[in-house]
Amino acid sequence: MQELTIDTIQQKLTAGELTVRQLVEYYLARIEAIDRAGPRLNAVIEVNPDALAIADALDAERVLARSGDRPERDNVLGPLHGVPVL
């Protein structure tokens, strides 16, 4: 997953092949493996303790956008919607 572009991530999120939660879990595991347990780079000082809850909320927004239950102007999700940023 580390080689995926933002465009590919968005395509997979839109197609339902990937969830924001899965992305966040992947990156949290990478941070743990490399930054904390591995070489101990200490490049990441802190992660948001609410990251998984936020991911779930973003996934729910995507479901609503696909269902059409939101006003049309709210159905447009930005290109970084759901993409974890460090």
Report the distance separating Cα 50 and Cα 9, nearest Å. 21
Tokens representing 52 are 């998984």
Report the distance separating Cα 43 and Cα 34, nearest Å. 9
Please tell me what DSSP assigns to residue 68.
T
Please state the domain extents for the chain: 8-68
Report the distance separating Cα 23 and Cα 46, nearest Å. 18
32-79 pLDDT, tens digit per residue, is 888 877 777 788 889 999 999 999 999 999 888 877 766 655 556 888
Provide the pLDDT confidence category of residue 12 given band limits of 50, 70 and 90: very high
Report the distance separating Cα 21 and Cα 26, nearest Å. 8
